[in-house]
């Protein structure tokens, strides 16, 4: 099956529209901070023939697939194995002083969802892994096996916004005392059995727990809180950033950081806004933008996306 059949880049035309004013000039650099299988990257390289692309990903499988896909573009492509908060180090390592455009397409990738053995999907039985970088770090099975009940409850509440967090944490503790919980089907069964009958039709009982475990395993929100400021610092004057989030916790962080960058730092009531207090960025979107209804029909994975964008309008000395 062709990559284009299994991976449809989300909101591609809007991403191109927002970033093109910053990356159209010869020598421009675009950082795809969440490269995945390279769908967005390929489209940008085709449309902007003098563009240099720096692709970052913590997933070695994704880097291998994207590397093959982007090979025809030769030395215009630089791929770096790193988490996306390593953007400054990646650019420094390539001798690049700043980026003209930066794209984040957050959340779990099509590759990770579609490869059952990665353990991200609650609908497919697989080892409970969920690591975006399968070469390092604790797995979801490690979290389920080692966290005390209070910590599991906190993870489910904070990262999954799960109302049954306490009930599910207790069920996991009881089940793991009988046998190790090592596969996704085991965990799904435990959660299903622990769900009250009255709530059995209120969405899949594993959805929010699996999301929470994935975020905990990969420290996604903690990384995002450092990645967006690092990206903003890496933008050249006139450079633009586009961020696509897929759940409210991500979007809340992105909103706060972009809005702060676009705000004046002048003290309240100060009669004159001095140059050093003027905003460094301007917002390019009013709130969040959503995928069109047509795109949601073509590509259901675009349904939850929330897009925000900003442009650097002032450099800090």
Superfamily of domain 123-218: Putative methyltransferase TM0872, insert domain (1.10.150.170)
User: Hey, where are the domains in the chain?
Assistant: 3-111+220-312, 123-218
Is 287 annotated in a binding site? The answer is: no
Determine if residue 81 is labeled as part of a ligand binding site.
no
Q: Which CATH number fits domain 3-111+220-312: 3.10.20.340, 3.40.50.150, 3.40.50.2300, 3.90.1150.10?
A: 3.40.50.150
Across 74-87, average pLDDT? 96
Q: Is 186 annotated as a binding residue?
A: no
Residue 38 annotated as part of some ligand binding site: yes
pLDDT in tens, 217-271: 999 999 999 999 999 999 999 999 999 999 999 999 999 999 999 987 666 666 6
Check pLDDT > 80 for residue 118.
no
Q: With contact defined as beta carbons under 8 Å apart, do 56 and 87 qualify?
A: yes
Please write the tens of the pLDDT for every residue from 273-299.
Answer: 666 668 999 999 999 999 999 999 999
Residue 74 has pLDDT above 80, yes or no: yes
112 belongs to an annotated ligand binding site: yes
Asked if residues 205 and 196 have their Cβ atoms less than 8 Å apart, the reply is no
**Sequence-separated (6 or more) residues with CB below 8 Å from residue 62:** 35, 36, 37, 109, 111
150-179 exposure pattern, b = at least 16 Cβ within 10 A, e = fewer? eebbbbbbebbebebbebbbebbeebbeee
The pLDDT of residue 1: 38
Q: Is the separation of the CB atoms in 261 and 279 below 8 Å?
A: yes
Nearest C-alpha neighbor of 60 from the set 86, 36, 84: 36
145-186 confidence digits (pLDDT tens): 999 999 999 999 999 999 999 999 999 999 999 999 999 999
pTM to 2 decimals? 0.90
Say if residue 105 carries a ligand binding annotation: yes
Pair 200, 193: CB distance under 8 Å: no
The reply to whether 123-218 shares the fold of 3-111+220-312 is no
Alpha carbon of residue 65 to chain centroid:
18
């Amino acid at each position: 099956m062709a990559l284009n059949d299994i991976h449809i880049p989300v909101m591609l035309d809007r991403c191109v529209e927002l970033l093109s004013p910053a990356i159209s000039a010869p020598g421009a650099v675009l950082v795809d901070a969440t490269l995945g299988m390279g769908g967005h990257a390929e489209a940008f390289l085709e449309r902007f023939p003098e563009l240099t692309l720096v692709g970052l990903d913590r997933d070695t499988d994704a880097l291998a697939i994207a590397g093959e896909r982007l090979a025809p573009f030769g030395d215009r492509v630089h791929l770096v194995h790193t988490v996306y908060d390593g953007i400054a180090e990646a650019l420094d390592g390539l001798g690049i002083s700043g980026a003209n455009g930066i794209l984040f397409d957050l959340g779990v990738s099509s590759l990770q969802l579609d490869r059952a053995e990665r353990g991200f999907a609650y609908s497919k039985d697989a080892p409970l892994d969920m690591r975006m970088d399968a070469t390092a770090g604790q797995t979801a099975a490690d979290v389920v096996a080692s966290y005390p009940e209070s910590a599991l409850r906190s993870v489910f509440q904070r990262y999954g916004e799960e109302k049954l967090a306490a009930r599910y944490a207790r069920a996991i503790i009881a089940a793991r005392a009988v046998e190790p919980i090592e596969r996704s089907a085991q965990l799904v069964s435990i959660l299903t059995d622990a769900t009250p009958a009255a709530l059995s039709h209120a969405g899949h009982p594993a959805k929010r727990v699996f999301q929470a475990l994935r975020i905990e395993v990969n420290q996604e929100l903690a990384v995002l809180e450092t990645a967006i400021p690092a990206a903003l610092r890496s933008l050249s004057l006139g450079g633009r950033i586009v961020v696509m989030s897929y759940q409210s916790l991500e979007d809340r962080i992105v909103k706060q950081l972009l809005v702060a960058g676009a705000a004046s730092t002048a003290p309240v009531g100060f009669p004159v806004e001095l140059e050093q207090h003027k905003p460094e960025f301007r917002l390019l979107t009013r709130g969040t933008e959503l995928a069109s209804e047509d795109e949601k029909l073509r590509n259901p994975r675009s349904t939850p996306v929330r897009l925000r964008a900003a442009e650097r309008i002032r450099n800090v000395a």
